[in-house]
Structure 1
Amino acid sequence: MKKKITSQREMMKCFINATYSILDSEGIKNIPIREIANKAGYNSATIYNYFENLEHLMFFTYLKHFNIFIRDLSESIDSKATPKDMYLNMLECFLIHSYSNPKVFYYIFFNKYSNSLEHDIKEYYLIFEEELEENIIPFITSVKGGTIYEIHTNIVTQVFENINESDENLVFLSELIVLVYHGLLHNLVNNPKEDISLIVKKTLDYIKKIIYAFENNFLLKECI
Protein backbone atom coordinates (compact mmCIF):
# COMPACT_ATOMS: atom_id res chain seq x y z
CA MET A 1 0.00 0.00 0.00
CA LYS A 2 2.81 2.40 0.94
CA LYS A 3 4.62 1.65 -2.34
CA LYS A 4 1.41 2.34 -4.27
CA ILE A 5 0.95 5.74 -2.56
CA THR A 6 4.61 6.61 -3.17
CA SER A 7 4.28 5.66 -6.84
CA GLN A 8 1.11 7.73 -7.16
CA ARG A 9 2.81 10.80 -5.67
CA GLU A 10 5.81 10.35 -7.96
CA MET A 11 3.49 10.40 -10.97
CA MET A 12 1.71 13.49 -9.63
CA LYS A 13 5.09 15.17 -9.18
CA CYS A 14 6.01 14.32 -12.76
CA PHE A 15 2.90 16.01 -14.19
CA ILE A 16 3.11 18.99 -11.81
CA ASN A 17 6.75 19.59 -12.75
CA ALA A 18 5.91 19.33 -16.45
CA THR A 19 3.10 21.88 -16.07
CA TYR A 20 5.25 24.23 -14.01
CA SER A 21 8.05 24.01 -16.58
CA ILE A 22 5.66 25.08 -19.37
CA LEU A 23 4.26 27.95 -17.31
CA ASP A 24 7.74 29.06 -16.29
CA SER A 25 8.93 29.30 -19.88
CA GLU A 26 5.73 30.49 -21.56
CA GLY A 27 3.94 32.43 -18.81
CA ILE A 28 0.52 31.91 -17.24
CA LYS A 29 -1.81 30.59 -19.92
CA ASN A 30 -4.34 27.88 -20.69
CA ILE A 31 -2.29 24.78 -21.46
CA PRO A 32 -3.70 21.95 -23.60
CA ILE A 33 -3.55 18.77 -21.53
CA ARG A 34 -1.82 17.03 -24.44
CA GLU A 35 1.07 19.50 -24.21
CA ILE A 36 1.53 18.65 -20.52
CA ALA A 37 1.38 14.93 -21.22
CA ASN A 38 3.97 15.22 -23.99
CA LYS A 39 6.25 17.23 -21.71
CA ALA A 40 5.93 14.56 -19.00
CA GLY A 41 6.44 11.71 -21.47
CA TYR A 42 3.00 10.10 -21.08
CA ASN A 43 -0.29 10.13 -22.94
CA SER A 44 -3.12 12.49 -21.97
CA ALA A 45 -5.32 9.76 -20.50
CA THR A 46 -2.69 8.96 -17.86
CA ILE A 47 -3.14 12.38 -16.24
CA TYR A 48 -6.74 11.52 -15.34
CA ASN A 49 -5.51 8.61 -13.24
CA TYR A 50 -3.97 11.12 -10.82
CA PHE A 51 -5.96 14.35 -11.20
CA GLU A 52 -9.68 14.96 -11.60
CA ASN A 53 -9.10 17.28 -14.55
CA LEU A 54 -6.76 19.99 -15.84
CA GLU A 55 -8.01 22.48 -13.22
CA HIS A 56 -7.05 20.08 -10.43
CA LEU A 57 -3.55 19.68 -11.90
CA MET A 58 -3.19 23.46 -12.28
CA PHE A 59 -4.19 23.95 -8.64
CA PHE A 60 -1.36 21.73 -7.40
CA THR A 61 1.05 23.34 -9.86
CA TYR A 62 0.22 26.79 -8.54
CA LEU A 63 0.99 25.60 -5.01
CA LYS A 64 4.64 25.81 -6.08
CA HIS A 65 4.20 29.59 -5.91
CA PHE A 66 2.73 29.20 -2.43
CA ASN A 67 5.85 27.28 -1.44
CA ILE A 68 8.03 30.16 -2.69
CA PHE A 69 5.99 32.53 -0.50
CA ILE A 70 6.31 30.27 2.56
CA ARG A 71 10.07 30.01 2.09
CA ASP A 72 10.39 33.79 1.76
CA LEU A 73 8.13 34.28 4.78
CA SER A 74 10.24 31.99 6.97
CA GLU A 75 13.33 34.08 6.17
CA SER A 76 11.71 37.44 6.87
CA ILE A 77 9.97 36.88 10.21
CA ASP A 78 11.19 38.77 13.25
CA SER A 79 10.58 36.42 16.19
CA LYS A 80 10.96 39.32 18.64
CA ALA A 81 8.06 41.28 17.14
CA THR A 82 4.71 41.54 18.90
CA PRO A 83 2.02 39.14 17.59
CA LYS A 84 0.25 42.02 15.84
CA ASP A 85 3.43 43.35 14.19
CA MET A 86 4.39 39.81 13.19
CA TYR A 87 0.95 39.37 11.64
CA LEU A 88 1.27 42.61 9.66
CA ASN A 89 4.77 41.63 8.48
CA MET A 90 3.50 38.22 7.39
CA LEU A 91 0.58 39.89 5.67
CA GLU A 92 2.85 42.28 3.77
CA CYS A 93 5.00 39.38 2.55
CA PHE A 94 1.86 37.51 1.49
CA LEU A 95 0.47 40.53 -0.37
CA ILE A 96 3.71 41.12 -2.27
CA HIS A 97 3.75 37.52 -3.47
CA SER A 98 0.06 37.27 -4.29
CA TYR A 99 -0.15 40.63 -6.06
CA SER A 100 2.96 39.74 -8.06
CA ASN A 101 1.11 36.61 -9.28
CA PRO A 102 -2.56 37.60 -8.96
CA LYS A 103 -4.01 34.92 -11.25
CA VAL A 104 -2.05 32.22 -9.47
CA PHE A 105 -3.07 33.25 -5.95
CA TYR A 106 -6.66 33.90 -7.00
CA TYR A 107 -6.74 30.36 -8.36
CA ILE A 108 -5.27 28.93 -5.16
CA PHE A 109 -7.66 30.68 -2.76
CA PHE A 110 -10.84 31.41 -4.71
CA ASN A 111 -11.64 28.53 -7.05
CA LYS A 112 -13.60 25.29 -6.64
CA TYR A 113 -10.52 23.48 -5.30
CA SER A 114 -10.02 26.07 -2.55
CA ASN A 115 -12.23 24.35 0.04
CA SER A 116 -9.65 21.86 1.33
CA LEU A 117 -6.54 24.02 1.55
CA GLU A 118 -5.13 22.49 4.74
CA HIS A 119 -5.32 18.99 3.27
CA ASP A 120 -4.05 19.99 -0.19
CA ILE A 121 -1.12 22.08 1.07
CA LYS A 122 0.03 19.19 3.26
CA GLU A 123 -0.50 16.76 0.37
CA TYR A 124 1.70 19.01 -1.77
CA TYR A 125 4.56 18.63 0.71
CA LEU A 126 4.09 14.86 0.73
CA ILE A 127 4.55 14.96 -3.04
CA PHE A 128 7.48 17.39 -2.84
CA GLU A 129 9.13 16.24 0.39
CA GLU A 130 12.42 17.83 -0.66
CA GLU A 131 10.77 21.28 -0.44
CA LEU A 132 9.72 20.82 3.18
CA GLU A 133 12.71 22.59 4.70
CA GLU A 134 13.01 22.62 8.48
CA ASN A 135 12.51 26.39 8.76
CA ILE A 136 9.14 26.29 6.97
CA ILE A 137 7.63 23.37 8.92
CA PRO A 138 6.11 25.64 11.64
CA PHE A 139 4.31 27.67 8.98
CA ILE A 140 2.95 24.59 7.21
CA THR A 141 1.75 22.93 10.42
CA SER A 142 0.04 26.19 11.44
CA VAL A 143 -2.22 26.07 8.37
CA LYS A 144 -5.55 25.06 9.90
CA GLY A 145 -8.77 25.18 7.91
CA GLY A 146 -10.29 24.28 4.59
CA THR A 147 -10.76 27.75 3.13
CA ILE A 148 -8.75 30.96 3.26
CA TYR A 149 -11.46 32.37 5.55
CA GLU A 150 -11.00 29.54 8.05
CA ILE A 151 -7.21 29.65 7.87
CA HIS A 152 -7.14 33.41 8.38
CA THR A 153 -9.64 33.24 11.24
CA ASN A 154 -7.35 30.80 13.06
CA ILE A 155 -4.42 33.18 12.58
CA VAL A 156 -6.41 36.23 13.73
CA THR A 157 -7.65 34.35 16.80
CA GLN A 158 -4.04 33.73 17.85
CA VAL A 159 -2.96 37.32 17.12
CA PHE A 160 -5.77 38.84 19.18
CA GLU A 161 -6.02 36.13 21.85
CA ASN A 162 -5.42 38.72 24.60
CA ILE A 163 -8.41 40.79 23.54
CA ASN A 164 -11.60 39.82 25.34
CA GLU A 165 -13.73 39.32 22.26
CA SER A 166 -16.15 36.59 21.29
CA ASP A 167 -15.32 34.08 18.57
CA GLU A 168 -18.12 35.61 16.52
CA ASN A 169 -16.46 39.05 16.59
CA LEU A 170 -13.07 37.60 15.64
CA VAL A 171 -14.68 35.78 12.71
CA PHE A 172 -16.27 39.07 11.64
CA LEU A 173 -12.89 40.84 11.77
CA SER A 174 -11.18 38.03 9.85
CA GLU A 175 -13.83 37.83 7.13
CA LEU A 176 -13.76 41.59 6.62
CA ILE A 177 -9.98 41.52 6.09
CA VAL A 178 -10.20 38.61 3.63
CA LEU A 179 -12.98 40.37 1.71
CA VAL A 180 -10.76 43.45 1.30
CA TYR A 181 -7.95 41.23 0.01
CA HIS A 182 -10.31 39.29 -2.25
CA GLY A 183 -11.68 42.46 -3.84
CA LEU A 184 -8.28 44.05 -4.48
CA LEU A 185 -6.80 40.77 -5.78
CA HIS A 186 -9.74 40.34 -8.16
CA ASN A 187 -9.27 43.89 -9.41
CA LEU A 188 -5.59 43.20 -10.03
CA VAL A 189 -6.42 40.04 -12.00
CA ASN A 190 -8.47 42.21 -14.35
CA ASN A 191 -6.03 45.16 -14.32
CA PRO A 192 -2.56 43.57 -14.16
CA LYS A 193 -0.70 46.76 -15.08
CA GLU A 194 -1.51 48.51 -11.79
CA ASP A 195 1.40 49.42 -9.50
CA ILE A 196 1.82 46.48 -7.10
CA SER A 197 3.65 48.45 -4.42
CA LEU A 198 0.79 50.97 -4.28
CA ILE A 199 -1.83 48.22 -4.00
CA VAL A 200 0.13 46.51 -1.22
CA LYS A 201 0.28 49.83 0.65
CA LYS A 202 -3.43 50.47 0.04
CA THR A 203 -4.37 47.00 1.31
CA LEU A 204 -2.24 47.35 4.45
CA ASP A 205 -3.72 50.81 5.12
CA TYR A 206 -7.25 49.41 4.83
CA ILE A 207 -6.46 46.47 7.11
CA LYS A 208 -4.68 48.61 9.73
CA LYS A 209 -7.74 50.89 9.87
CA ILE A 210 -10.05 47.89 10.22
CA ILE A 211 -7.91 46.53 13.08
CA TYR A 212 -7.79 49.96 14.76
CA ALA A 213 -11.59 50.21 14.55
CA PHE A 214 -11.89 46.68 15.96
CA GLU A 215 -9.48 47.33 18.85
CA ASN A 216 -11.33 50.51 19.78
CA ASN A 217 -14.76 48.88 19.50
CA PHE A 218 -15.85 51.11 16.60
CA LEU A 219 -16.20 48.22 14.17
CA LEU A 220 -18.66 46.27 16.29
CA LYS A 221 -21.09 49.03 17.23
CA GLU A 222 -24.62 48.38 16.10
CA CYS A 223 -25.64 50.22 12.94
CA ILE A 224 -28.74 52.38 13.19
Structure 2
Amino acid sequence: MKNKELQKSRMWKYFVEATADIIREEGYDKVTIRKVADRAGYNSATIYNYFSEVSHLVFFASMMFLKEYTEDVAKTMEKVSKPIDKYLLAWECFCYHSFQKPKLFHAVFMMDLGDYPENMLEHYYAKFPRELVHFPEELIPTLMERNMSKRGRSALELALQAGEISDRNVDAINEVTILIWQGMFNNVLNHRTKYQPDIALKKTMRYITEIVRNEKVLLFNDETMEGK
Protein backbone atom coordinates (compact mmCIF):
# COMPACT_ATOMS: atom_id res chain seq x y z
CA MET A 1 0.00 0.00 0.00
CA LYS A 2 1.35 3.41 -0.99
CA ASN A 3 1.99 6.01 1.71
CA LYS A 4 -0.93 8.18 0.59
CA GLU A 5 -3.34 5.25 0.59
CA LEU A 6 -2.02 4.07 3.95
CA GLN A 7 -2.56 7.53 5.44
CA LYS A 8 -6.08 7.69 4.04
CA SER A 9 -6.89 4.26 5.48
CA ARG A 10 -5.60 5.28 8.89
CA MET A 11 -7.63 8.48 8.86
CA TRP A 12 -10.75 6.53 7.91
CA LYS A 13 -10.19 4.19 10.85
CA TYR A 14 -9.55 7.06 13.27
CA PHE A 15 -12.94 8.57 12.53
CA VAL A 16 -14.80 5.25 12.63
CA GLU A 17 -13.19 4.23 15.90
CA ALA A 18 -13.87 7.69 17.40
CA THR A 19 -17.53 7.27 16.44
CA ALA A 20 -17.59 3.82 18.04
CA ASP A 21 -16.18 5.28 21.27
CA ILE A 22 -18.94 7.89 21.39
CA ILE A 23 -21.60 5.23 20.82
CA ARG A 24 -20.17 3.10 23.64
CA GLU A 25 -19.97 5.99 26.08
CA GLU A 26 -22.96 8.16 25.18
CA GLY A 27 -25.21 6.25 22.80
CA TYR A 28 -26.26 6.52 19.17
CA ASP A 29 -28.27 9.70 19.61
CA LYS A 30 -25.23 11.64 20.78
CA VAL A 31 -23.06 11.12 17.68
CA THR A 32 -22.31 14.34 15.78
CA ILE A 33 -19.66 15.29 13.24
CA ARG A 34 -18.18 17.80 15.68
CA LYS A 35 -17.91 15.26 18.50
CA VAL A 36 -16.25 12.72 16.21
CA ALA A 37 -13.80 15.34 14.95
CA ASP A 38 -12.93 16.43 18.49
CA ARG A 39 -12.46 12.85 19.62
CA ALA A 40 -10.22 12.02 16.65
CA GLY A 41 -8.24 15.26 16.99
CA TYR A 42 -9.21 16.85 13.66
CA ASN A 43 -11.61 19.52 12.48
CA SER A 44 -15.08 18.76 11.15
CA ALA A 45 -14.17 19.74 7.58
CA THR A 46 -11.58 16.95 7.44
CA ILE A 47 -14.22 14.30 8.14
CA TYR A 48 -16.15 15.30 5.02
CA ASN A 49 -13.15 14.27 2.93
CA TYR A 50 -13.93 10.70 3.99
CA PHE A 51 -17.65 10.56 4.84
CA SER A 52 -20.60 12.30 3.20
CA GLU A 53 -22.77 12.42 6.31
CA VAL A 54 -22.93 11.34 9.93
CA SER A 55 -25.11 8.30 9.13
CA HIS A 56 -22.17 6.76 7.26
CA LEU A 57 -19.95 7.14 10.30
CA VAL A 58 -22.62 5.54 12.47
CA PHE A 59 -23.05 2.69 10.00
CA PHE A 60 -19.35 1.81 9.84
CA ALA A 61 -18.88 2.19 13.59
CA SER A 62 -21.86 -0.08 14.20
CA MET A 63 -20.26 -2.79 12.09
CA MET A 64 -17.60 -3.02 14.79
CA PHE A 65 -20.28 -4.16 17.25
CA LEU A 66 -21.66 -6.97 15.05
CA LYS A 67 -18.93 -9.48 15.80
CA GLU A 68 -20.93 -11.20 18.55
CA TYR A 69 -23.77 -11.74 16.08
CA THR A 70 -21.60 -12.94 13.20
CA GLU A 71 -19.73 -15.38 15.44
CA ASP A 72 -23.00 -16.67 16.87
CA VAL A 73 -24.60 -17.28 13.48
CA ALA A 74 -21.42 -18.95 12.19
CA LYS A 75 -21.39 -21.32 15.17
CA THR A 76 -25.12 -21.99 14.85
CA MET A 77 -24.86 -22.92 11.17
CA GLU A 78 -22.59 -25.83 12.09
CA LYS A 79 -25.39 -27.52 14.08
CA VAL A 80 -27.52 -28.47 11.06
CA SER A 81 -26.96 -29.62 7.50
CA LYS A 82 -30.24 -28.98 5.66
CA PRO A 83 -30.45 -25.57 3.97
CA ILE A 84 -33.97 -24.89 5.27
CA ASP A 85 -32.82 -25.59 8.83
CA LYS A 86 -29.86 -23.27 8.33
CA TYR A 87 -32.25 -20.60 7.06
CA LEU A 88 -34.45 -20.86 10.14
CA LEU A 89 -31.53 -20.88 12.55
CA ALA A 90 -30.05 -17.86 10.77
CA TRP A 91 -33.36 -16.05 11.31
CA GLU A 92 -33.39 -17.09 14.96
CA CYS A 93 -29.89 -15.65 15.49
CA PHE A 94 -30.81 -12.48 13.64
CA CYS A 95 -33.99 -12.00 15.66
CA TYR A 96 -32.26 -12.71 18.96
CA HIS A 97 -29.48 -10.19 18.43
CA SER A 98 -31.63 -7.54 16.72
CA PHE A 99 -34.19 -7.55 19.54
CA GLN A 100 -31.43 -7.39 22.14
CA LYS A 101 -29.70 -4.47 20.41
CA PRO A 102 -32.29 -2.76 18.19
CA LYS A 103 -30.39 0.52 17.74
CA LEU A 104 -27.33 -1.36 16.49
CA PHE A 105 -29.30 -3.39 13.96
CA HIS A 106 -31.26 -0.34 12.86
CA ALA A 107 -27.99 1.46 12.14
CA VAL A 108 -26.66 -1.42 10.04
CA PHE A 109 -29.75 -2.80 8.31
CA MET A 110 -32.53 -0.19 8.41
CA MET A 111 -31.13 3.33 8.64
CA ASP A 112 -31.43 5.64 5.64
CA LEU A 113 -27.89 6.12 4.36
CA GLY A 114 -28.78 8.50 1.57
CA ASP A 115 -27.15 8.30 -1.84
CA TYR A 116 -24.22 5.98 -1.22
CA PRO A 117 -22.64 3.04 -3.09
CA GLU A 118 -24.04 -0.45 -2.46
CA ASN A 119 -20.60 -1.77 -1.51
CA MET A 120 -20.49 -0.25 1.99
CA LEU A 121 -19.93 -3.61 3.67
CA GLU A 122 -17.17 -4.50 1.23
CA HIS A 123 -15.54 -1.17 2.05
CA TYR A 124 -15.74 -1.91 5.78
CA TYR A 125 -14.22 -5.37 5.47
CA ALA A 126 -11.46 -4.01 3.26
CA LYS A 127 -10.49 -1.83 6.23
CA PHE A 128 -11.16 -4.43 8.92
CA PRO A 129 -10.52 -7.82 7.23
CA ARG A 130 -9.86 -9.54 10.56
CA GLU A 131 -13.60 -9.48 11.26
CA LEU A 132 -14.17 -12.11 8.54
CA VAL A 133 -11.47 -14.55 9.61
CA HIS A 134 -13.75 -17.06 11.32
CA PHE A 135 -16.85 -16.56 9.20
CA PRO A 136 -17.95 -19.51 7.00
CA GLU A 137 -17.05 -18.98 3.37
CA GLU A 138 -20.56 -19.82 2.13
CA LEU A 139 -22.13 -17.17 4.37
CA ILE A 140 -19.83 -14.29 3.45
CA PRO A 141 -21.97 -13.19 0.43
CA THR A 142 -25.00 -13.06 2.71
CA LEU A 143 -23.17 -10.99 5.30
CA MET A 144 -21.82 -8.60 2.68
CA GLU A 145 -25.33 -7.84 1.39
CA ARG A 146 -27.05 -5.02 3.29
CA ASN A 147 -30.33 -5.30 1.39
CA MET A 148 -32.47 -7.66 3.48
CA SER A 149 -34.54 -8.89 0.55
CA LYS A 150 -31.42 -9.94 -1.34
CA ARG A 151 -29.92 -11.47 1.82
CA GLY A 152 -32.98 -13.60 2.43
CA ARG A 153 -33.34 -14.59 -1.23
CA SER A 154 -29.74 -15.80 -1.46
CA ALA A 155 -30.20 -17.91 1.68
CA LEU A 156 -33.40 -19.46 0.32
CA GLU A 157 -31.71 -20.33 -2.98
CA LEU A 158 -29.90 -23.22 -1.29
CA ALA A 159 -33.17 -24.58 0.09
CA LEU A 160 -34.74 -24.21 -3.36
CA GLN A 161 -31.89 -26.10 -5.00
CA ALA A 162 -32.26 -28.86 -2.41
CA GLY A 163 -35.97 -29.18 -3.24
CA GLU A 164 -37.05 -28.16 0.26
CA ILE A 165 -39.27 -25.33 -0.96
CA SER A 166 -41.09 -24.73 -4.24
CA ASP A 167 -39.96 -22.22 -6.81
CA ARG A 168 -43.36 -20.50 -6.92
CA ASN A 169 -43.27 -19.74 -3.20
CA VAL A 170 -39.66 -18.72 -2.64
CA ASP A 171 -40.24 -15.01 -3.21
CA ALA A 172 -43.36 -15.01 -1.07
CA ILE A 173 -41.55 -16.77 1.78
CA ASN A 174 -38.73 -14.27 1.53
CA GLU A 175 -41.02 -11.25 1.55
CA VAL A 176 -43.38 -12.42 4.29
CA THR A 177 -40.63 -13.49 6.70
CA ILE A 178 -38.92 -10.12 6.32
CA LEU A 179 -42.21 -8.28 6.91
CA ILE A 180 -42.84 -10.32 10.05
CA TRP A 181 -39.43 -9.42 11.44
CA GLN A 182 -39.72 -5.77 10.42
CA GLY A 183 -43.08 -5.43 12.17
CA MET A 184 -41.82 -6.81 15.46
CA PHE A 185 -38.47 -5.04 15.16
CA ASN A 186 -40.07 -1.62 14.66
CA ASN A 187 -42.29 -2.22 17.69
CA VAL A 188 -39.27 -3.13 19.80
CA LEU A 189 -37.12 -0.28 18.46
CA ASN A 190 -39.81 2.36 19.01
CA HIS A 191 -41.07 0.92 22.32
CA ARG A 192 -44.48 0.19 20.83
CA THR A 193 -44.71 -3.17 22.59
CA LYS A 194 -44.23 -4.44 26.13
CA TYR A 195 -42.63 -7.66 24.87
CA GLN A 196 -39.25 -8.43 26.34
CA PRO A 197 -36.63 -9.51 23.74
CA ASP A 198 -37.10 -13.21 24.52
CA ILE A 199 -40.87 -13.04 24.03
CA ALA A 200 -40.48 -11.01 20.83
CA LEU A 201 -38.07 -13.69 19.59
CA LYS A 202 -40.44 -16.58 20.35
CA LYS A 203 -43.42 -14.91 18.70
CA THR A 204 -41.50 -13.85 15.60
CA MET A 205 -39.91 -17.27 15.11
CA ARG A 206 -43.25 -19.01 15.59
CA TYR A 207 -44.69 -17.04 12.68
CA ILE A 208 -41.60 -17.37 10.49
CA THR A 209 -41.35 -21.11 11.12
CA GLU A 210 -45.03 -21.59 10.24
CA ILE A 211 -44.54 -19.75 6.95
CA VAL A 212 -41.41 -21.71 6.02
CA ARG A 213 -42.54 -25.16 7.17
CA ASN A 214 -46.08 -24.93 5.85
CA GLU A 215 -46.03 -23.40 2.39
CA LYS A 216 -49.78 -24.02 2.04
CA VAL A 217 -50.42 -20.89 4.08
CA LEU A 218 -49.09 -18.96 1.08
CA LEU A 219 -52.19 -19.25 -1.05
CA PHE A 220 -51.36 -16.23 -3.14
CA ASN A 221 -48.83 -15.54 -5.84
CA ASP A 222 -47.73 -12.51 -7.85
CA GLU A 223 -50.42 -13.03 -10.50
CA THR A 224 -53.32 -13.16 -8.04
CA MET A 225 -51.99 -10.16 -6.15
CA GLU A 226 -51.65 -8.12 -9.34
CA GLY A 227 -55.20 -9.02 -10.32
CA LYS A 228 -56.67 -7.39 -7.22
**Fold shared per TM-score above 0.5:** yes
The one-letter code of the counterpart of 1:197 is D
Instruction: Indicate yes or no: 2:95 matched with 1:99.
Output: no
Unpaired runs of at least 5, structure 1: none
C-alpha distance 144-53 of structure 1, shift in aligned 2 (>3 A): closer
Instruction: Name the counterpart of 2:204.
Output: 203
Q: Could you tell me how far 1:52 is from its partner in structure 2?
A: 0.5
The answer to whether the 8 Å contact 1:102/1:189 transfers is yes
With normalisation by structure 1, the TM-score equals 0.85
For 1:76-155, list aligned pairs within 5 A. 76-113=76-113, 119-143=119-143, 145=145, 147-155=147-155
Unpaired runs of at least 5, structure 2: none
The answer to whether the 8 Å contact 1:98/1:104 transfers is yes
Q: Deviations over 1:153-183 (max 9, x none)?
A: 11112223214633x6311210111111111
Q: Could you tell me how far 1:82 is from its partner in structure 2?
A: 2.1
Determine the C-alpha separation between the residues in 2 that align with 1:163 and 1:117. Answer: 35
With normalisation by structure 2, the TM-score equals 0.84
Determine the C-alpha separation between the residues in 1 that align with 2:103 and 2:144. Answer: 23
Determine the C-alpha separation between the residues in 1 that align with 2:12 and 2:137. Answer: 22
Q: Deviations over 1:75-105 (max 9, x none)?
A: 3332543222222222211111111111221
- Alpha-carbon RMSD across the aligned residues, in angstroms, is 2.7
The one-letter code of the counterpart of 1:149 is S
For 1:52-67, list aligned pairs within 5 A. 52-67=52-67
Helix, strand or coil at the partner of 1:29: helix
The answer to whether the 8 Å contact 2:84/2:156 transfers is no
Q: Deviations over 1:41-86 (max 9, x none)?
A: 1111111010001111111111223333112222333254322222
Q: Could you tell me how far 1:112 is from its partner in structure 2?
A: 2.4
The answer to whether the 8 Å contact 1:102/1:188 transfers is yes
Determine the C-alpha separation between the residues in 1 that align with 2:206 and 2:117. Answer: 27
The one-letter code of the counterpart of 1:220 is L
**How many pairs align?**
221
Determine the C-alpha separation between the residues in 2 that align with 1:197 and 1:128. Answer: 32
Identity among equivalent pairs (%): 30
Determine the C-alpha separation between the residues in 1 that align with 2:61 and 2:199. Answer: 28
The one-letter code of the counterpart of 1:202 is K
Determine the C-alpha separation between the residues in 1 that align with 2:219 and 2:116. Answer: 30
The one-letter code of the counterpart of 1:20 is A
Q: Could you tell me how far 1:204 is from its partner in structure 2?
A: 0.3
Helix, strand or coil at the partner of 2:29: coil
C-alpha distance 62-181 of structure 1, shift in aligned 2 (>3 A): same
Determine the C-alpha separation between the residues in 2 that align with 1:27 and 1:120. Answer: 22
C-alpha distance 80-186 of structure 1, shift in aligned 2 (>3 A): closer
The answer to whether the 8 Å contact 2:169/2:218 transfers is no
Q: Could you tell me how far 1:186 is from its partner in structure 2?
A: 0.6
C-alpha distance 44-8 of structure 1, shift in aligned 2 (>3 A): same
The one-letter code of the counterpart of 1:218 is V
Determine the C-alpha separation between the residues in 1 that align with 2:165 and 2:130. Answer: 42
Moved more, 136-145 or 89-98: 136-145
